[in-house]
Structure 1
């Protein structure tokens, strides 16, 4: 297997899976989020691994590292993303660090993404 790493890219609001053996350390997957500084929450809304890297368990590695980093930063996890939600159901050790998704979270994600488009 190639040299795979996971890193937070706060400028792009996502944790990235990088393949050091690919062109220029290509991003081969991501767990995108928006941070709500007022509430101390990180809202995960999309996780994806490039198709050619599928079946290697990279999404699980990505989720674990992203969630561990989020907890270490003292932020609460809000799992809008179906994969993150599923991962959390199987890994109950994060339960004290998770907030239930509300319509306000969905509105916050929508508004945050709309602002990025207009910048």
Structure 2
């Protein structure tokens, strides 16, 4: 995966720290922290470090983290604002949020 600026980027899961990390040219540029339950992965905090903001890295981090979560068979709980915004604006990802939690979180039901 590469960014518009042609810097090599990578998103990796760091299970030891319960987070996904975005690396830009080998340097950690942001993270998406999570907590797993039996069936869902709750995203509790996502951030892009200041020197990397405004370059679309947040979207790339969240999308990769949610894709990996889906591939692992988890539903998602978008508790942090960045993940919630991403999910609200993309119906394919909203489908990963269990119906019972959509109501609690005030998310669309369909």
TM-score by length of 1: 0.75
Q: Any runs of at least 4 consecutive aligned residues in structure 1 with deviations exceeding 3 A, and if so which?
A: none
Alignment of 1:1-119 (within 5 A): 1=5, 2-20=7-25, 25-37=26-38, 40-99=39-98, 100=101
CA distances 1:83-113 after superposition (whole Å, capped 9, x unpaired): 100100111112221032759xxxxxxxxxx
CA offset at residue 73 of structure 1? 0.6
Measured in 1, the distance between the counterparts of 2:52 and 2:78 equals 23
TM-score by length of 2: 0.81
Q: Give the match's secondary structure for 1:46.
A: strand
Q: Give the match's secondary structure for 2:13.
A: strand
Structure 2 residue runs without a partner (length 5+)? 106-110
Decide which structure has greater helix share: 1
What is the Cα-based RMSD across aligned positions, in Å?
Answer: 1.6
Q: Give the match's secondary structure for 1:86.
A: helix
Measured in 2, the distance between the counterparts of 1:93 and 1:41 equals 17
Structure 1 residue runs without a partner (length 5+)? 104-119
Q: How many residues are aligned here?
A: 97
Residue 113 of structure 1 corresponds to which residue in structure 2? none
Q: Give the match's secondary structure for 1:55.
A: coil
CA offset at residue 55 of structure 1? 0.7
